[in-house]
Amino acid sequence: VGYTLTVVRRKPESSAQLEAFVKRYVPAAKIVSDVSVELGVQLPMDASPQFAALFEELDRQKDSLNVASYGVSVTTLEEVFLRIAAGESMDKHQIQDMKKSLQEQRSLVAADEDAIQDRVKGGAALFFMHLWAMILKRIWYIKRDIAGILCEILIPILVVVVGFILMGLTFVSSSPRLTLDPTMYDLPIRAYYGAPASVDLSGFVQNAFPTSQYTMEGLPSESLLDFDQALFQRRSVTPHRIGSFYFKAFDQTSKQYNYSVLVNTSYPEAAPFFYNAVNNAILKNATGNQAAKIRTTAAPMPLTATISQFSSTGKGFVAVFVFGISMALIPGSLITFIVRERELNVKHQQIVSGVSIAAYWLANFIVDMAKHLIVALVAIGLAKAFGADSITEDDCFSMLFVLFFFYGTATAGFVYVLSFFFRDPGTAQTAVFLLSLIGGVIVTIVVFVLRLVSSTRSIGKVLPFFFRFLPNYSFCNGLMSMSNRLIFALIDRYFVKKPAWSSEIALWDFLYLLLTTILYFGLVFFMEYIRVTPETFSLSCFKRRQQGEGGEQVPLSDIQVGNRPGPTDDDVEAERRACQTANPKDHSVLVNELRKEYVLGVGRTKVAVQSVSFSIKKGECFALLGVNGAGKTTTFRILSGEYNQTSGTAHISGFNTLTDMREIRPYIGYCPQFDALLDNLTSREHLSLYAAIKGIPSKYREKFIQSKLKELDLVKFEHVPAGTYSGGNKRKLSVGIAMIGNPPIILLDEPSSGMDPGARRFMWNVIASITTQKKESSIILTTHSMDEAEALSTKMAIMVNGGFRCMGSVQHIKNKFGKGYELEIKLSPPAENECASLLAQLGVSPGAALDMAAVVNLVQRANNPQLARQISADGSGSAIYTEIIQNRTAKAEVVADFILIAERSKAVFNFLKNEFGNILLIEQITTFFRFKIEEIGSLGKTFGVIEANKEKLNIQQYSLKQTSIEQIFNMFATNTVSYTHLRAHETGRNLVCRLLLEKKKKSRYTHCLLYTS
């Protein structure tokens, strides 16, 4: 535990002289930081007796030592914890590894310079480097994306396979050959027979027509006409009889037979069947062989060529349905990655890092088309293998291939356009799948049915010209038209199948797929240049804002509607004036009168950034502090090109962010507020991706990656997907991405948020090395951690309601707005003999138990009647009060200890009041006191006075520290009153109550107590 002496030099120069001066008085002093004009020196606590001489001499030699100002602060408990933890956890091998890593870092400086010199800086070479990096990113992602592989490749292929297996069903085919025998009908068959009276057929019928198959009834008739009349009269008895027969002549001797068969023609096979049945009966009777039989079969006529083609049409119809469903799965999967990458800000991170819009979308298109072609080629092969001739014969095969290919191109563009309208990947996937399924399969079938019906045929021919803007419809409709060429020939009465490339079949579908490919990709770039590249549209709008209604030029200051964010400091005004005349090429970052308004509605705007001006030079770290909504992130997004300013200018490396963002991006390293990482990529793959984006040649890339992995302590995670990292390791990787390639400008938006203290300090060391060792990069930092801003920044600004309230180095702001020092004192506790002496003086026996009345009486007899009021639940005597409430009494020694501590604290308070004037006791815990001293004059004198009276005042230990930057920040952020506004006679509760009433703010102090002389 000790002090940190922060010295602000008038200009940056060697710290050797100052270090020697400090060590002359405090030999154990140690340099802890040397950044720009600020020098941090650690002083041990036990050296405080030497501080008076040190600071008094420092005041006298300010000019010769190049000192502008200085201040002291006490080492925080967090720093103590980290040092103890580090000492316990690091063995000799780890320390050696750290030293070796530092040596490697130094040896990499030369390699960094070579890489910077050889870096690819533009033109076709950089474009193709970015293109290949984007393709590799997708490949790395896909190989770990099992769900994506299933949805985009395997399931569509499986759907096609299953569909073609089902397509093996025959839709139109020839009927099988039919054997004519009684089993064709329900048995027994009811039939009649007849003959002249001279002919006896009873024996013939009985032997030839078994009763198991036939029920025979004879109708004696002299002629065939009479037999026919008899059958007619029995029409109600046997309405469904199949047939009957009548013998005119039946000569058994000469084997001469003359007969007629009467059949029911509603049975197609009745005539040949009954002729065959009678012939079989005659054969058996003539030969006497009951086994003799004539076998008769019926063979249908073969299908005509026209009817056969309808069978192929059915297969084509199924193919359309199968292809439509399988291809509808692909767009839904394509959009998932695009939306996820945009919503995680991964896309923006890549664009800010230097990737062009063309390289980004072309890489996605190449990868998506490669996946689509796998499914397409398999589907085409299956169509050929399963004999879907209606879509593979003649010129249909070439049309099928063209439809599949351009369906992929049109769908990719269509999906990319739709991705701009979704924020959730799951919702996007579901919506696009349903749109593709309905627009492709269902609408195609509906339009096909409309075309078949004569009354709606004209509508069915017109609607496709509108639906073809859906790629799925053009694809399915083209296949449907090819598979139904014969049907269209018949219904449109041209009786000859048109070729697939004719306008009546699939030509229009092909042309629409080609047209929509161009249209949708044009829309993608149109929307991108509106959102990302301001020079296309925003520049003209910006210029219009600077012109009056008549076209006259209006000064920029006249456009500033609204007020500035409260009173501004003279440092802020000086910076604003300097920025107005500064040359952008002389600064890493130059911001002049930057303003951003959001339109909330008609006539309603919200000003997020108001008249912000600042400049940063090479090697500086600029910290931007502010509460949520102060405008920090909006400023960052303007500098990174995500947003456009309403007015004002911002230059990075001499380029205007409004017009030259393409030139700026290679100079920027960006760490967003929320980690822009892809879960499926490892830390090595992330760093390799962004190294390529920064144009680092492949021969240097491995050194950069290894350097960052070691520097960020991510070596053991280099092959582990980032989605499994802890929050701290994700932030490390995000910072590493920002720093890869040593960009001149590094934007860090809350880089250590979510980290534990050890990881946070580690990250600070990594960031500080950029400005303190290499001094080639400038850093802009936003943070909620005051310690982080104090540790890293060479210059900071506090932002309130969109504008700067103060600006300067940390020590400069402390000196200017700190309002004095905080003095912490710990008194020596009273000894036992002192308590015994006091009790004897007051006539109280040692060990006596005192009730509340006795305690109050004892305190009043000790010549301190006001002290009795502190024996309450929230007073300084709360321990005595609690003991009495619990036990009804308190020990006399405890009361004596309380009285003695009160006397000592009163003596300390009176001493400080006499030495320093108006003071405030802001906290007391038994023997620990924290005072606020408004004005101390010389810091050396203050240490000398306290040191000289240390024993007299029973001070066991003390520390004197300047107001922290966090307290100053809270003062600006909440507009709390300064200490000079507090009245010294107010005590604890009254003080807090007045603050609540006057400022309507909660006090940061839980217990306040003032002693007055």
pLDDT tens-digit map of 962-978: 777 777 777 777 665 34
Given pLDDT bands bounded at 50, 70 and 90, which one contains residue 988?
very low
Across 232-246, 362-376, 647-661, least confident range: 232-246
CA distances from 15 to 11, 34, 55 (A): 11, 8, 17
Q: pLDDT tens, 821-839?
A: 788 888 888 888 888 888 8
Strand, coil or helix: 721: strand
The enclosing H or E element of 55 equals helix 51-60
- CA gap 507, 530 in Å, rounded: 35
Q: What is the mean pLDDT of residues 753-776?
A: 71
Tokens 């929509």 belong to: 516
CB within 8 Å of 779: residues ≥ 6 apart? 620, 621, 622, 746, 747, 748, 767, 770, 771, 792
CB within 8 Å of 250: residues ≥ 6 apart? 195, 199, 201, 204, 257, 258, 259
Q: What is the mean pLDDT of residues 681-693?
A: 93
Q: pLDDT tens, 256-287?
A: 888 889 888 888 888 888 888 888 888 888 88
* 711 pLDDT higher than 70: yes
Q: What is the mean pLDDT of residues 225-239?
A: 84
- CB-count burial class (<10 Å; 0-12, 13-18, 19+) for 110: exposed
- CA gap 762, 714 in Å, rounded: 12
- CA gap 531, 293 in Å, rounded: 90
* Predicted local confidence at residue 483, as pLDDT: 82
* Predicted local confidence at residue 75, as pLDDT: 61
- CA gap 480, 484 in Å, rounded: 6
- Which bin fits 941, alpha (ψ -120 to 50), beta or left (φ > 0)? alpha
User: DSSP assignment, residue 829?
Assistant: P
* 384 pLDDT higher than 90: no
- CA gap 539, 226 in Å, rounded: 108
* 586 pLDDT higher than 50: yes
**Residue 259 carries which side chain, given as an amino acid letter?**
Y
- Contact by Cβ (8 Å): 835, 828: no
- Contact by Cβ (8 Å): 942, 61: no
- CA gap 1013, 837 in Å, rounded: 25
* Sign of the dihedral defined by the CA atoms of residues 229, 232, 233, 234, in that order: positive
Q: pLDDT tens, 597-641?
A: 887 766 778 888 988 999 998 888 898 888 778 888 888 888 888
Peptide bond before residue 188 is cis, with ω within 30 degrees of 0: yes
Which one has a higher pLDDT value, 2 or 265?
Answer: 265
For 828-965, strand residue ranges (E) read 849-850, 890-891, 919-925, 928-933, 955-962
Tokens 């021969």 belong to: 699
* Predicted local confidence at residue 1007, as pLDDT: 36
Which one has a higher pLDDT value, 538 or 444?
Answer: 444
Strand, coil or helix: 79: helix
CB within 8 Å of 444: residues ≥ 6 apart? 320, 324, 473, 476, 477, 480
Strand partners, 589: 616, 652
Which one has a higher pLDDT value, 984 or 681?
Answer: 681
* Predicted local confidence at residue 626, as pLDDT: 82
Q: pLDDT tens, 914-933?
A: 888 778 887 777 788 888 88
Other Cβ atoms within 10 Å of 257 Cβ, number: 18
Q: What is the mean pLDDT of residues 224-230?
A: 88
Across 284-293, 351-360, 434-443, 649-658, least confident range: 284-293
* 779 pLDDT higher than 70: yes
What is the percent of the chain where pLDDT is above 70? 83
* Predicted local confidence at residue 312, as pLDDT: 54
What are the helix and strand counts (H, E) for the chain? 40, 26
* Predicted local confidence at residue 707, as pLDDT: 84
CB within 8 Å of 844: residues ≥ 6 apart? 850, 858, 892, 896
* 537 pLDDT higher than 80: no
Which one has a higher pLDDT value, 752 or 402?
Answer: 402
- Which bin fits 548, alpha (ψ -120 to 50), beta or left (φ > 0)? beta
Q: pLDDT tens, 548-570?
A: 333 443 333 333 344 444 566 78
Q: What is the mean pLDDT of residues 150-175?
A: 76
* Predicted local confidence at residue 534, as pLDDT: 42
Given pLDDT bands bounded at 50, 70 and 90, which one contains residue 473?
very high
**What CA dihedral angle connects 646, 650, 656 and 662, to 10 degrees?**
-90
The per-residue b/e assignment along 34-73, b for 16 or more CB within 10 angstroms, e otherwise, is bbbbbbbbbbbeebbebbbebbbebeeeeeebbbbbbbbb
Q: pLDDT tens, 296-318?
A: 888 777 766 555 555 556 666 77
Which of 169-173, 539-543, 678-682, 891-895 is predicted most confidently? 678-682
The enclosing H or E element of 94 equals helix 92-118
User: DSSP assignment, residue 26?
Assistant: -
Instruction: Give the CA angle between residues 554, 556, 562 to the nearest 5°.
Output: 105
For 879-941, strand residue ranges (E) read 890-891, 919-925, 928-933
- CA gap 877, 873 in Å, rounded: 8
Which one has a higher pLDDT value, 684 or 483?
Answer: 684
* Predicted local confidence at residue 93, as pLDDT: 46
Which one has a higher pLDDT value, 121 or 420?
Answer: 420
- CA gap 434, 418 in Å, rounded: 13
Strand partners, 38: 8, 35
Given pLDDT bands bounded at 50, 70 and 90, which one contains residue 102?
very low
